[in-house]
Structure 1
């Protein structure tokens, strides 16, 4: 309880996006991209599809709520697809010598697009890159919108993993978050994906939603396990300003908090472990034969804006509104609105949110990645990789870690700092926060 209630970053990047204050233009990004491409011969690509038919009240993602049957909506979709073509044209030649090992389509709702639009996206955008035959192609899908011709086309172009945002199967919870999707509908979508040949399925769940109880969550967990996804993400609700504006009455009295929220977290962890899933870290679980579990056993898992992923140190290029690029020395985020993004695509001097990493950023990013991906901070490795003397460089942090050690989250010795099992591994964010300059300067030590 002491640690689980802290409002800490998810550390899908370091520094967290709230600390990005620099600006960057297309020429500056190209310069960084050239340097990264010389050092890294493989990349990951992310495409943000910002369209949704309905607003889900829990969602903090960048999206535009639109009616797909509207002519005006289809005009906007065409502007978006043409904008992607122009954005990709700025950067594709800078990675001509590189192979693409991961592609991810997120949203919004990627299956807002119809087959003709997916074909346009593939032929005019994706075909410009050299994609590995072993690449992981993943697409986020709304199970309520799944159509057979679309799934068959996604399989044909190479998609081998889909992710369904389920969140909860309880009718009362679904009504509260404005996402009605019965179990039977989702089961049909899962079966269709498998019958079309796409081998891997992810399911996302959220705990801490209105009206959730241990009893209702147990039913949802049992139904999810019946679907037998290859990976499960079990996130805690992140309450953002005005996110539940339309449902404010629920937020005041029906969100699980404190011990109730912790109980939901532990319920999910124990249920997934009992069902044979491996605990990859923080909020991710995978079957033992899934590539993520295999990567975890090889110490090759990384954490980025898709959560825990395979791909080791792949640099990351993002396209579309709000998309983020993660190169060796810089993070860059596109503007969130479609209109602003389209302006940026055509204006090489347009300044966007970014962070050029300092040497201190890189050292702390490496340590936080070790916490999330390995559960151990290897002092000699960190010293050799970054040419620092660990105990001296992190003297204040080591002092604060003593209180975590007393509470049973970590063990400290000469060569490494090891997160305990299970407590430290569950509370990785609290350990990572010790090394986070923003947390230390903004709030003092969170955990001392």
Structure 2
């Protein structure tokens, strides 16, 4: 089957599988905060030696990037920083009262929004207060997301002094026309500066986020962007598909569908980007992610230690991820829980002495079994034949016939062409996906 035929068949709405069940399939009616607290204690007792992963959501941005699907609050009023930090520390204090011992912190990530919206002084205030309450795991790893246009040397220096060793810069595209359309403006010189500062300060890993399928993108603009990336050679690259969901993200109505590459053109941009990155010496880790051969993420994939959660791919196999802040999601293996999505609602619940949760899902044994199979596909790009549900046999045969899977030993591996449709292979194991009738209004396209 040729590329265009594969695209027509498999470029359908599919979950990104940073979790299972995916958020739209959570059984929220059965979720009770008391049950969640009990499961948190079980998870803490079982997994504390692996260490805790902590995600902190910092939602503020000075301007709206119209492509963005994150939960953000747009403001130029930096007086919001201190009250929000106080809220984060109040939420963390509530969890410390639930947990019987000091947590062993292995992984900490600042996401957004724009974490570098906050001043270096306020970030230091937040982090020093958090770090006083934990025991650091011997292999701890701290990371954050930075906007090249507002990340300063002072930001990088303060965070490095606090133990941060990884930074991810959201670039998306270097073409001025594309940047203007998505309202994500930063110069190549600014990206050069923040990359150079990071390396001078001792950050061990620098990641660039790039997106294909954006308005006004062309083969020439993708080529140009990756040529500029090649001048800096970050350790990791996330090459994401643009998810056009204007019914969920009204900011995406700033441009129309006619401004976007067609489905076939988008696939060509993806393939072009893949070829360029592979030619530079990067290797494909999993969905959307590339790394240089010496990077720990790639080593983890080859050694069978790669894991995937709401923060994406990680080298940490731990099963205890807690989220702080507006809209943050906790994945404690035995349950999921999400915080309220508005800053006002978040702070209001905290001030009332309540955990700021508004929905969640308690995992069943079937959920845990299915989740492990999907993680195997997403992280190791393989699965055993006896792992496949009987009802998926017909779909398996189609994937084999179309060359997306190949037989190996007692199971199957994703082929080179199948890498582009890894989400479709994960969906083989997802009973919710095959029973959903309105997927086109829930999930983004697979490519």
Work out whether the TM-score is over 0.5.
Answer: yes
Q: State the Cα distance separating 1:364 from its structure 2 match.
A: 1.2
Q: State the Cα distance separating 1:172 from its structure 2 match.
A: 0.4
Task: Establish whether residue 22 from structure 1 lines up as the match of residue 28 from structure 2.
Answer: yes
Gap change, CA 1:95 and 1:170, over 3 Å in 2 = farther
User: Secondary structure, in 3 states, of the residue corresponding to 1:314?
Assistant: coil
Report if aligned partners of 1:92, 1:129 keep a CA contact under 8 Å in 2.
no
Gap change, CA 1:275 and 1:146, over 3 Å in 2 = same
Task: Establish whether residue 182 from structure 1 lines up as the match of residue 177 from structure 2.
Answer: no
User: How many Å separate the matches in 2 of 1:37 and 1:243?
Assistant: 35
Task: Establish whether residue 57 from structure 1 lines up as the match of residue 66 from structure 2.
Answer: yes
Task: Give 1:308-327 correspondences, 5 Å limit.
Answer: 308-327=313-332
Counterpart of 2:429 in structure 1 is 435
Counterpart of 1:77 in structure 2 is 81
Report if aligned partners of 1:233, 1:283 keep a CA contact under 8 Å in 2.
yes
Q: Deviations over 1:165-189 (max 9, x none)?
A: 0000000000100111111111111
Gap change, CA 1:262 and 1:88, over 3 Å in 2 = same
Q: Equivalent of 1:9, from 15, 36, 39?
A: 15
Q: State the Cα distance separating 1:399 from its structure 2 match.
A: 2.8
User: How many Å separate the matches in 2 of 1:182 and 1:350?
Assistant: 38
User: Secondary structure, in 3 states, of the residue corresponding to 1:128?
Assistant: coil
Gap change, CA 1:249 and 1:319, over 3 Å in 2 = closer
Counterpart of 1:292 in structure 2 is 297
User: How many Å separate the matches in 1 of 2:147 and 2:439?
Assistant: 40
Report if aligned partners of 1:4, 1:427 keep a CA contact under 8 Å in 2.
yes
Q: State the Cα distance separating 1:257 from its structure 2 match.
A: 2.0
Quick one: higher RCO (CA 8 Å, sep 6+), 1 or 2?
2
User: How many Å separate the matches in 2 of 1:366 and 1:283?
Assistant: 20
Counterpart of 2:44 in structure 1 is 37
Task: Give 1:204-223 correspondences, 5 Å limit.
Answer: 204-223=209-228
Q: Deviations over 1:238-278 (max 9, x none)?
A: 11235674564632311012210000111111111111111
Task: Structure 1: give runs of 5+ residues left out of the alignment.
Answer: 381-389
User: How many Å separate the matches in 2 of 1:331 and 1:227?
Assistant: 38
Gap change, CA 1:101 and 1:438, over 3 Å in 2 = same
Q: State the Cα distance separating 1:354 from its structure 2 match.
A: 0.7
Counterpart of 1:105 in structure 2 is 110
Gap change, CA 1:22 and 1:347, over 3 Å in 2 = farther
User: How many Å separate the matches in 2 of 1:161 and 1:97?
Assistant: 25
Counterpart of 2:410 in structure 1 is 415
Give aligned pairs, total.
430
Counterpart of 1:226 in structure 2 is 231
Q: State the Cα distance separating 1:307 from its structure 2 match.
A: 1.5
User: How many Å separate the matches in 2 of 1:431 and 1:168?
Assistant: 29
My pick for the range that moved more, 141-150 or 343-352, is 343-352
Q: Deviations over 1:82-136 (max 9, x none)?
A: 1111111111251635421111000001111112211210222232111224211
Report if aligned partners of 2:339, 2:356 keep a CA contact under 8 Å in 1.
no
User: Secondary structure, in 3 states, of the residue corresponding to 1:144?
Assistant: coil
Counterpart of 2:119 in structure 1 is 114
User: How many Å separate the matches in 2 of 1:130 and 1:399?
Assistant: 50
User: Secondary structure, in 3 states, of the residue corresponding to 2:256?
Assistant: helix
- Tell me the TM-score normalized by structure 1: 0.91
Gap change, CA 1:351 and 1:282, over 3 Å in 2 = closer
Gap change, CA 1:121 and 1:244, over 3 Å in 2 = closer
Task: Establish whether residue 333 from structure 1 lines up as the match of residue 327 from structure 2.
Answer: no
- Tell me the TM-score normalized by structure 2: 0.91
Task: Establish whether residue 406 from structure 1 lines up as the match of residue 394 from structure 2.
Answer: no
Task: Give 1:243-282 correspondences, 5 Å limit.
Answer: 245=250, 248=253, 250-282=255-287
